Amino acid sequence: ASQDLSAAMPGNPNVAPQYGDGAQAQEGEHVAPPDVAATGSTTGETLASPKLGAGQPLIGENAGNAPLDRARADDTGCTLTTNQGVPVGDNQNSLKAGLRGHTLLEDFILREKITHFDHERIPERVVHARGSAAHGYFECYKEQSTLTRAAPFAKAGKRTPVFVRFSTVAGERGSTDTARDVRGFAVKFYTDEGNWDLVGNNIPVFFIQDAMKFPDLVHAVKPEPHHGMPQAASAHDTFWDFASLMPEITHMLMWVMSDRAIPRSYRMMQGFGVHTFRLVNAQGESVFCKFHWSPLAGTHSLVWDEAVKISGADPDFHRRDLWEAIEAGEYPEYELSLQVFTEEQAEAFDFDVLDSTKLIPEELVPLQPVGKMVLNRNPDNFFAETEQVAFCTAHIIPGIDFSNDPLLQGRIHSYVDTQISRLGGPNFHEIPINSPIAPVHNNQRDGMHRQAINRGRVAYEPNSLAGGAPFQAGPRGFNSFPASGEGDKVRGKPEKFAEHYAQARLFWISQTPHEQDHIVHAFRFELTRVQTVAIRERIVAMLRNVDETLAQRLADDLGLALPPAMPSMAVLPVPEYAPSPALSLTFRPGKTGIHTRRVAILIGPGSDGAQVRQLYDALLADGAVPRLVGSQLGKVDTGKGAPLAVEVSLEAGPAVLYDAVIVPDGEAAARQLSADANALDFLRQQYRHCKPMLLIEAGATLLEKAGIPDALPDGTPDPAVIVAPAADVAQALATFKQAIAAHRAYTRETD
Ligand code: HDE
């Protein structure tokens, strides 16, 4: 039996060959550059390349492969040059007047190298600075021509390449992934009719109703300007001061204080377009629509204490998770659904569909699945793709149009505008990751870093000298939906915008008891960090309009007397909702079983080697990611069979990085692990974070050492602490797998 059990790990065939065959060249051996003329590709890659899958990829399956090939650079086996292509003789020493003399200004090689380095950084995004991205495709289930003429929905089975960037909002570029925050969910569709960017979040509502308040919101949540603290956190006075004076934020606060704001993975969260959009068909008929992405892996979250500890153990937790899943061929998938409704229906709703602090309950307008997105390739280069990608809400295509949502209207301006300073000019659409697959022809010219070499003397329209080209597309092109509704020029809001609490309450009553507990704890944590008592009181006063129990629990936890409820601004009757199960994370348990779930198998000298192999193989066969974790790296002798190799040490791979744990049989190993504080901590944290635990025979002695009960406080057995004799491993493993697929055993929660 091989020691290296991980050799059987699955892999991703879609990796571009930049680490390819050439990388294995012997030192000094020169590898001939690929034949660009023959393949049309600087990397030697063609659409028939086996690296792109089974050898017959559908065109467009990998957004970047065909279109980005022209920009890919591969230095394998090549000589070092300057940016002008001049071969560099010595890359170690600057040019000096004598060995101990001054460095010469003449040294253009040194100066080019340092100058380029000096300008390597670009400004980070003013929000959503921290992100991770992937390529993939969107596949249409069924033609949607009665609803929209948008290209991605034209035909069943049609694939449109996509590039997706997930992000946190408040933290800077190098901040931790598991901060409590909204997650960005931005999708760029490279369609036949130009790029369409659906720039959404993992929460279906927003903090504010009008773009006018966005800079205030962001200034409030970002680190406080005098001392630059705290990083990637809303738990400070300025955010809650602003929040407590903006009752329209209440609904969003409920979501951000819920587990939605600490997802287990980017692969396990929903995405929402948030605003009401329009769909327009070829006949020019329009309906309203909201966009929803639902992950096949289900919606799952961390618990707060775990999220905090992950920030120390692996601040790249979500980035790594996405990368590793795609590398392993476990492609994240999300189903796209529409909520379609007419203007007349919208009129009858109790809320205004132009108000982004409101959602449309699924009970009112059901979700209509229209396709799925598969993310199947990691970027080649983080900066070139993930950092330089420019999502703009203004990027829409024929068949899609805006509504008058005043938040959306402001965004249409902001995104293009911000790219101009972030990416250094108006030609950011020419950066490979941003450039459309659809051809670009217009009379726009010049500007910083222009790539296109536009030919001819005509750059105006109308013209006769170029035969009138490029021509207007007329009805085939993008034509704004002729929405009516001229009114007086005013600054104000429609009446329904004034009701702020009914949907916040709907969210609260739709949560399971453990989800409600987590919301109370999150408010308590954040407001405990807030130093100004009056701010805490205003938030509790606000929450009395959501739910009296919630407000009372929070007041008790903060040591406050219950303040009077904040006056409501509602001018119309306040709607009352029945609970909406779809608003609970438990509503979408997922269809991928234990795939990609990380399981630690704690081993030591004397662990039952045969049993460990059996468990490891069984988990691997079901798509999980087992890891042999021990006190230190190196081989451990097992009673049975060849020695095992510890893959990760307890110190480097603490409990919070795993979804579940197994302690196999083996008396000596159990004794050794019991003497290791890291091992006992590992088990305590797995227990505290409600994770499944399987302990076999002698392995179970660790429970007692770690002070872990095997029953719930009410005396009933804990469904996810599975203790089994060695003879019952198969049965116990089956129960364990079910517990992993169920994510967490929240009934055990002790926090
Ligand atoms: Fe953004 N937002 N936003 N936002 N937003 C940006 O654009 C802005 C809003 C969202 O991965 C910025 O390129 C305004 C809602 C995502 O690159 C900026 C308003 C939603 C991303 C900007 C909003 C979002 C951004 C910063 C209120 C969910 C990251 C850098 C009127 C539907 C995209 C950039 C990526 C990024 C402005 C509100 C989602 C400054 C003015 C609502 C996912 O343009």
Strands 625-630 and 598-602: parallel
53 pLDDT above the threshold of 80: no
DSSP secondary structure, 401-422, as one string: EE---HHHHHHHHHHHHHHHHH
Residues 45-62, mean pLDDT to the nearest whole number? 37
pLDDT band at 408 (very low <50, low <70, confident <90, very high): very high
Residues 571-577, mean pLDDT to the nearest whole number? 93
Q: Beta-carbon neighbour count of residue 211 at 10 Å?
A: 18
Substitution candidate for ligand 1 out of 125, 217, 396 with most atoms within 8 A of CB: 125
CA 294, CA 296: separation in Å to the nearest integer?
Answer: 7
Helix or strand (DSSP H, E) at 239:
helix 237-244
Substitution candidate for ligand 1 out of 414, 419, 423, 429 with most atoms within 8 A of CB: 414
26 pLDDT above the threshold of 70: no
pLDDT band at 430 (very low <50, low <70, confident <90, very high): very high
CA 224, CA 700: separation in Å to the nearest integer?
Answer: 49
Closest CA to 360 of 374, 343, 340: 340
Picking from 390-394, 461-465, 483-487, which range would have the lowest pLDDT averaged per residue?
Answer: 483-487
Looking at ligand 1, which residue's alpha carbon is closest to its atom 8? 411
> Ligand 1 mean position to 127 CA, how many Å?
7
19 pLDDT above the threshold of 50: no
Ligand 1 near 200 CB (within 6 A): yes
Ligand 1 near 127 CB (within 6 A): yes
Condensed to tens digits (0 to 9), the pLDDT of residues 244-267 reads 999 999 999 999 999 999 999 999
pLDDT band at 292 (very low <50, low <70, confident <90, very high): very high
> Ligand 1 mean position to 601 CA, how many Å?
42
Tokens of 65: 């492969």
Strands 400-402 and 368-377: unpaired
What are the C-alpha distances in Å from 24 to residues 17, 28, 49, 78? 12, 12, 19, 13
Ligand 1 near 46 CB (within 6 A): no
Ligand 1 near 163 CB (within 6 A): no
pLDDT band at 639 (very low <50, low <70, confident <90, very high): confident
Residue 275 alpha carbon, nearest atom of ligand 1: 32
Residue 415 alpha carbon, nearest atom of ligand 1: 44
Picking from 31-35, 321-325, 411-415, which range would have the lowest pLDDT averaged per residue?
Answer: 31-35
Residue 273 alpha carbon, nearest atom of ligand 1: 32
Query: 601 forms bridges with which residues in the sheet?
Result: 628, 662
Strands (E) located in 442-501: none
What integer pLDDT is reported at residue 203 of this predicted model?
98
Ligand 1 near 274 CB (within 6 A): yes
Question: Which is more confidently placed, 689 or 67?
Answer: 689
Looking at ligand 1, which residue's alpha carbon is closest to its atom 38? 411
What integer pLDDT is reported at residue 7 of this predicted model?
59
Tokens of 556: 């008790």
Secondary structure of residue 338 in the 3-state scheme: strand
Looking at ligand 1, which residue's alpha carbon is closest to its atom 29? 128
278 pLDDT above the threshold of 50: yes
> Quick check: bond before 230 cis, omega within 30?
yes
Looking at ligand 1, which residue's alpha carbon is closest to its atom 28? 200
Looking at ligand 1, which residue's alpha carbon is closest to its atom 6? 127
Picking from 140-144, 530-534, 635-639, which range would have the lowest pLDDT averaged per residue?
Answer: 635-639
Residues 364-380, mean pLDDT to the nearest whole number? 96
> Ligand 1 mean position to 186 CA, how many Å?
9
What integer pLDDT is reported at residue 644 of this predicted model?
95
> Ligand 1 mean position to 415 CA, how many Å?
7
Tokens of 118: 């000096």
CA 311, CA 317: separation in Å to the nearest integer?
Answer: 8
Tokens of 90: 């010595």
Picking from 37-46, 76-85, 609-618, 663-672, which range would have the lowest pLDDT averaged per residue?
Answer: 37-46
What integer pLDDT is reported at residue 74 of this predicted model?
85
Is 507 in contact with 209 (CB distance < 8 Å)?
no
Ligand 1 near 126 CB (within 6 A): yes
pLDDT band at 6 (very low <50, low <70, confident <90, very high): low
Closest CA to 67 of 450, 432, 429: 432
Residue 413 alpha carbon, nearest atom of ligand 1: 41
Cα within 13 Å of Cα(248), Cβ side: 19
Is 706 in contact with 655 (CB distance < 8 Å)?
no
Ligand 1 near 211 CB (within 6 A): yes
Residue 646 sits at φ, ψ, to 5 deg, of: -70, 125
Q: What is the sign of the dihedral through the CA atoms of 668, 669, 672 and 675? A: negative
Ligand 1 near 214 CB (within 6 A): yes
ipTM reported for the complex surpasses 0.95: yes
Condensed to tens digits (0 to 9), the pLDDT of residues 376-398 reads 999 999 999 999 999 999 999 99
Is 529 in contact with 236 (CB distance < 8 Å)?
yes
Condensed to tens digits (0 to 9), the pLDDT of residues 409-420 reads 999 999 999 999
pLDDT band at 325 (very low <50, low <70, confident <90, very high): very high
Ligand 1 near 131 CB (within 6 A): yes
Tokens of 87: 């071969």
Query: What are the residue numbers of the active site?
Result: 128, 201
The letter for the amino acid at 496 is K
Residues 707-719, mean pLDDT to the nearest whole number? 90
Q: What percentage of the chain has pLDDT greater than the value 90?
A: 87
Ligand 1 near 34 CB (within 6 A): no
Residue 127 alpha carbon, nearest atom of ligand 1: 26
Secondary structure of residue 335 in the 3-state scheme: strand
Looking at ligand 1, which residue's alpha carbon is closest to its atom 9? 411
> Ligand 1 mean position to 436 CA, how many Å?
21
What integer pLDDT is reported at residue 63 of this predicted model?
44
Q: Which region holds residue 127: left if phi is over 0, alpha if psi is between -120 and 50, else beta?
A: beta
Ligand 1 near 276 CB (within 6 A): no
What integer pLDDT is reported at residue 9 of this predicted model?
62
Q: Give the global pTM.
A: 0.93
Residue 199 alpha carbon, nearest atom of ligand 1: 43
Residues 673-682, mean pLDDT to the nearest whole number? 97
CA 292, CA 137: separation in Å to the nearest integer?
Answer: 16
Looking at ligand 1, which residue's alpha carbon is closest to its atom 44? 415
Condensed to tens digits (0 to 9), the pLDDT of residues 330-364 reads 999 999 999 999 999 999 999 999 999 999 999 99
What are the C-alpha distances in Å from 337 to residues 270, 357, 365? 11, 20, 11
Residue 167 alpha carbon, nearest atom of ligand 1: 11
Ligand 1 near 687 CB (within 6 A): no
Looking at ligand 1, which residue's alpha carbon is closest to its atom 43? 184
Tokens of 612: 């460990």
Residues whose CB falls within 8 Å of the CB of residue 374, separated by 6 or more in sequence, listed in order:
136, 137, 139, 331, 332, 333
Strand order from edge to edge, sheet including 660-663:
648-649, 625-630, 598-602, 660-663, 693-696, 721-724
CA 84, CA 113: separation in Å to the nearest integer?
Answer: 12
Which DSSP symbol is given to 224? B
Residue 553 sits at φ, ψ, to 5 deg, of: -60, -40
Ligand 1 near 128 CB (within 6 A): yes
Question: Which is more confidently placed, 224 or 18?
Answer: 224
Residues whose CB falls within 8 Å of the CB of residue 714, separated by 6 or more in sequence, listed in order:
none
> Ligand 1 mean position to 372 CA, how many Å?
24
Residue 418 alpha carbon, nearest atom of ligand 1: 44
Ligand 1 near 410 CB (within 6 A): yes
Radius of gyration of the chain (CA): 29
Q: Beta-carbon neighbour count of residue 43 at 10 Å?
A: 24
Q: Beta-carbon neighbour count of residue 286 at 10 Å?
A: 19
Closest CA to 275 of 192, 357, 155: 357
Is 462 in contact with 468 (CB distance < 8 Å)?
yes
Substitution candidate for ligand 1 out of 128, 212, 276, 417 with most atoms within 8 A of CB: 128
Domains of the chain: 1-57+69-78 (no CATH), 90-120 (no CATH), 131-233+260-430 (2.40.180.10), 497-587 (1.20.1370.20), 598-748 (3.40.50.880)
What integer pLDDT is reported at residue 538 of this predicted model?
98
End-to-end CA distance of the chain: 43
Instruction: Tell me what the pLDDT averaged over the chain comes to.
Output: 92
Closest CA to 678 of 696, 703, 639, 651: 651
Residues whose CB falls within 8 Å of the CB of residue 627, separated by 6 or more in sequence, listed in order:
6, 598, 599, 600, 601, 647, 648, 653, 658
Residue 186 alpha carbon, nearest atom of ligand 1: 43
> Quick check: bond before 34 cis, omega within 30?
no
Strands (E) located in 594-652: 598-602, 625-630, 634-636, 644-646, 648-649
Strands 693-696 and 400-402: unpaired
